[in-house]
Amino acid sequence: MRRTHGIGYAAKAHWILFAPIVAAFGAAVLLFIITAWTLPALMPVGVMAFGACCVFAVWRLPAYLRFRLRVTDRLVSVRTDESGARALAVELCDIESVSVRQTPLGERLGYGDVRIKHPGGMFVVRRVNDPAEFRRRVRNAAFSLQQDIMRNLEAYAEACSN
């Protein structure tokens, strides 16, 4: 009996993806304030910088919202951009290892990179929210799948011996 591909865990992208945009917004506001206070003739430059930050934020938002990293009872699926160009689906039995890499800042803020090694190579997903939990879920799902396979083999061997 085969189970369905129910989603066991879905990881999210970390908000740190927006850190460059927030820094640019801060710089644009600072530029706007400085030019308004000292050189009013250059104030349109601050307005244009703020507008460019808004465009960049709107451009990055779909990628953040459509990020998908899921563990089902049979596979791990990854989609890191809105077009699906960077997508991967690996069966749990094919995964050789899942490793997590976190910087000291990433440990404090709760994000890191996840590396999924499989027979076709290695896939790195950057800035995943709570990567240790993702790794734990993959290991638990793989162990559960292995146990199901062993139970099915035992049942098959018992049926064949009768």
Virtual torsion, Cα 15, 17, 22, 23, nearest 10 deg: 130
| DSSP secondary structure of 47-103 | HHHHHHHHHHHHHHHHHHHH-EEEEESSEEEEE-STTSSSEEEEEGGG--EEEEE--
- Burial (CB < 10 A; 0-12, 13-18, 19+), residue 80, is buried
**What's the mean pLDDT when you consider all of the chain?**
82
Each residue's pLDDT tens digit, 108-152: 999 999 998 998 888 888 888 899 998 999 888 888 888 888 888
Does residue 80 have a pLDDT over 80? no
Answer for the pair 95, 104: CB distance below 8 angstroms, yes or no: no
Q: What whole-number distance in Å separates Cα of residue 64 and Cα of residue 80? A: 8
Instruction: Return the residue matching tokens 């709107």.
Output: 58
Amino acid at 35: T
Counting residues of the chain whose pLDDT is more than 70, the rounded percentage is: 91
Each residue's pLDDT tens digit, 2-23: 444 666 788 877 888 778 888 8
Q: Which helix (H) or strand (E) holds 1?
A: none
Q: Give the pLDDT band (50/70/90) at residue 46.
A: confident
